[in-house]
Amino acid sequence: MDKEISQTPMPSEYQDATVKIICNDCQSHCTVPFHVLGMKCSNCGSYNTAQDGGLEPRQPQPQQQQQSP
């Protein structure tokens, strides 16, 4: 599954999105990168997970202010 996910890029608006999941194998709750093919538990590595919260879009990067001379 890891190989399949690495070969299936997400659209740019979802590339850095995260989601809260619960693992059905180890019962861990964690926040992981969102992917349409599956979300991997960061505790045990299983893909036997369920979404446990809404999708969190990537955080906008703060723009650096340029100083005028």
Instruction: Print the domain residue range for 50.
Output: 2-56
Q: What is the pLDDT of residue 51?
A: 96
- The pLDDT tens digits for 13-66 are 898 999 999 999 999 999 999 999 999 999 999 999 999 988 888 766 555 555
Q: What is the pTM assigned to this prediction?
A: 0.76
Q: Which residues of 41-64 are buried (b: 16+ CB within 10 A; e: fewer)?
A: beeeebbebeeeeeeeeeeeeeee
Let me know if residue 61 belongs to a domain.
no
Q: What is the pLDDT of residue 57?
A: 84
Let me know if residue 11 belongs to a domain.
yes
CATH classification at residue 47:
2.20.28.10
Asked if 49 and 28 count as a contact pair (C-beta separation under 8 A), the reply is no
- The domain tally of the chain equals 1
